[in-house]
Amino acid sequence: MKKPTNEKQKQLDKFRVQNTGPGKKMTDDYGTKVSNDTSTLRAGRRGPLLFQDFHFYKKQSHFNRERIPEKVVHARGFGVHGEFETYKSMRHVTKMHFLQEAGQKTPVFVRFSNFTGNKGSKDTAVDIRGFAVKFYTKEGNYDSLSLQFPVFILADAMKFMDLTHAAKQNPKTDVPQATTAHDNFWDYVANNQESAHMVMWLMSMRGRPRSWRMMAGWPINTFRFINEEGKSTFVRFKWEPRLGVHSLLLDEANIIGGVDPDYHRNDIIEAIVKGAYPEYDLGVQLIAEEDEFNYDFDILDDTKLWPEEVVPIQYIGKMTLNRLVENFFAEEEQSAFDPANLVPGIDFTNDPTLQGRAFAYRDTELYRHHSANFEDLPVNRPIAKTNFNLRDGRMRYRIDVDNVHYHNNSLAGNTPAEASFEEGGYVNYPGPVEGHNTRELPSESFYDFFSHARIFWNSLSTVEKQDLIETFSFHLGRVHSKSVRQQNVEMFANVDTEMASIIADNIGVERPKTSHVQENRSYPSLSQLNTTHSAYTRRVGVLIDNDFNGSEVKSTLQILQQNGVFLDIISEKLGTVTSRDGVTLEVNKTFFTTYPWLYDSIYVVGGNADNQAKFDQDIRYFINETYKYYKPIGIATTAQAYLRRSEKNNMAGVVFAANNPDFGKDFVAAIAKERFWNRT
């Protein structure tokens, strides 16, 4: 596969080092060739190690320092490179250079991450996920930091530490890992009730994405666009995946976390390697400066959403992720994102959470890298030319040859010189400031904790509501403190009394005395079931062995591949399987090395196996698990005996090849539908 190139890639290529190849001789980090890299220097064959073994000292001491502190939150991450293309000019509202003309392309680096777990945790935890995008613009780096929800769990940055302490592992035992199903988190929720809205999103299907390629992203904060005339427009952003928003069920997420902890990483790696590049549309919601107070929510409150039906989304560009990192540590682990990395045309508002984030992110990276020079690491380095008077410090790569390194000066003609607003200099928006010093939240509507949470509940389908109740019951059911369980039931009764009552029954506490807030609005955009559906890049397991119907299977596989379906050929053992008419297929997975939960669908072919009883047992196991999670199943003519209709099974989503000339087409349509909720 040809590697896409852009300005950032050309810059990174300068740092690429190939250590292996014909004629390459090993050296140490100072260039001295190494004659022995397997044995330490010792006094006699059976003697002690000599301190003068400088090669061992260099090798071991460097190894001892290979890791840097992991991030306090969002430690588990994965990064990929890509490109953003602007659809339409936004010059009427912003002077951001990369949004000026349709067709402009800007290199990007994207990091997906989990909030709670450490680096070694699982991908599929019910968790807050990061979706950070670094735009390498011609005016400097612009960082956009999103979550998979449009709202945040707190309204003021002062609570960052408390939330994180509560969500992370118990300080005594350091467990549990990668989950919020424990006492401390839910005690925090019940006693910090502005969390209600985001916790509803977290407990919904949105908290368990099927793939990063099928996950939306919202930067959650309110920013300002600034145009050439200096006019301000309030803005929020949204990343919408082209494949739609899709999720795992709770049991699936828990099981996959055990059998494939790297599930989301493997998924995006496979897609990019196969050229099925993940794509996302960037949308903006705009509110005129003069309309700031025209809504029944405070536009600066990150615990409230801007409903798309109230503040419409304009889609202004597309991001395509088309290249994997070449070295995880150098590019992903050392990548640094900061919401204060802005370019001319965008500025902060007085959003209390955003104001705190502007300090927190950079301070974290200063600690992790032990240097202010982390911005000069290849993955963080801007493509824009840099001229500044900052000097020295650890990890200093630049060799600054100027005699003058201060401002103002006469010896260098007062250069580097300041740039005016017209010359592209960054100028903060001159917004009005008034009032007395206070620790109050910006408005009384910040204290309305439940109206938007109830709107979210009202907007969900019956299936989504049932799923949310089950997820609440699972998490609160693992809380030991009965008092904390009861407090949460009383709290979420403010959202919906019936929901909280069912949860109370499930977790062994009294039904709530609270009634939900009076809010009847709902918005279709909040239901995940109103999304794009496609068979493209869905994963199908083909269960097969020898003596299958070659023409039928070959035709079906061709149709699946034409629709971009990813296929695994699964059998008893690796090698090939052969049909009755001489068609051969390469087996790339066995029943021993893969699991039914890793597939969106299965195509059951059957066949004659060496151990037929075990083969039939494995197929039935795959069918049962796939059927249980409402996923589509294709049944070849040679496999009809494995699954038959009965009074207990209505076979919704099961497509049979027998006497069906449109089997391939029907199977693709079933795969695209994803789940058959009416299945019995």
Q: Do 44 and 80 fall within a single domain?
A: no
Note whether 178 and 122 are within 8 A (CB). yes
How many domains is the chain partitioned into structurally?
3
Query: How many C-beta atoms surround the C-beta of residue 482 within 10 A?
Result: 12
Note whether 78 and 332 are within 8 A (CB). yes
In a domain, 518, yes or no: no
Confidence band of 599 (pLDDT split at 50, 70, 90): very high
Confidence band of 504 (pLDDT split at 50, 70, 90): very high
Q: Which residues contact 195 (CB under 8 A, 6 or more apart)?
A: 153, 154, 163, 188, 189, 303
| Average pLDDT along the chain | 95
Confidence band of 6 (pLDDT split at 50, 70, 90): confident
Q: Do 51 and 117 fall within a single domain?
A: no
Q: What is the CATH number of the domain that holds 606?
A: 3.40.50.880
Q: What is the pLDDT of residue 2?
A: 55
From 376, 405, 422, the end of a domain falls on: 376
Q: Do 602 and 667 fall within a single domain?
A: yes
Q: Do 60 and 121 fall within a single domain?
A: no
Residue 562: both structure tokens together: 């034409």
Q: What is the mean pLDDT of residues 493-516?
A: 98
Q: Do 117 and 215 fall within a single domain?
A: yes
Confidence band of 327 (pLDDT split at 50, 70, 90): very high
In a domain, 412, yes or no: no
* DSSP for 491-550, written as a single string: HHTTT-HHHHHHHHHHHTSPPPS----S-----GGG-TTSS----TT-EEEEEE-BS--H
Q: Do 266 and 213 fall within a single domain?
A: yes
In a domain, 451, yes or no: no
DSSP state of 383: S
Give the residue numbers spanning the domain of 364.
76-151+209-376
Q: Do 652 and 581 fall within a single domain?
A: yes
Q: What tens digit of pLDDT does each residue of 231-275 get?
A: 999 999 999 999 999 999 999 999 999 999 999 999 999 999 999
Longest Cα separation, the chain: 91
Q: Do 43 and 147 fall within a single domain?
A: no
Between CA 19 and CA 327 the distance in angstroms is 13
Q: What tens digit of pLDDT does each residue of 420-475 get?
A: 989 999 999 998 888 888 899 999 999 999 999 999 999 999 999 999 999 999 99
Query: Percentage of residues in the chain with pLDDT exceeding 70?
Result: 99
Residue 204 has pLDDT above 70, yes or no: yes
Q: Do 94 and 56 fall within a single domain?
A: no
Between CA 374 and CA 359 the distance in angstroms is 16
In a domain, 499, yes or no: no
Question: Would you call 19 helix, strand, or coil by DSSP?
Answer: coil
Between CA 542 and CA 554 the distance in angstroms is 12
Residue 26 has pLDDT above 90, yes or no: no
Question: Cα–Cα–Cα angle for 140, 141, 143, nearest 5°?
Answer: 150
In a domain, 310, yes or no: yes
- The shares of helix, strand and coil residues in the chain, as percent rounded to the nearest 5, are 30, 20, 50
Q: Do 60 and 145 fall within a single domain?
A: no
Q: What is the mean pLDDT of residues 136-159?
A: 96
Q: What is the pLDDT of residue 4?
A: 64
Residues composing the chain: 680
* DSSP for 659-673, written as a single string: T-TTHHHHHHHHHHH
In a domain, 422, yes or no: no
Q: What is the pLDDT of residue 141?
A: 95
In a domain, 180, yes or no: no
In a domain, 492, yes or no: no
Helix 196-203 to helix 462-477 angle (10° resolution) is: 100
Confidence band of 93 (pLDDT split at 50, 70, 90): very high
Between CA 441 and CA 359 the distance in angstroms is 19
Q: Do 48 and 87 fall within a single domain?
A: no
Q: What tens digit of pLDDT does each residue of 600-644 get?
A: 999 999 999 999 999 999 999 999 999 999 999 999 999 999 998
Confidence band of 178 (pLDDT split at 50, 70, 90): very high
Q: What is the CATH number of the domain that holds 318?
A: 2.40.180.10
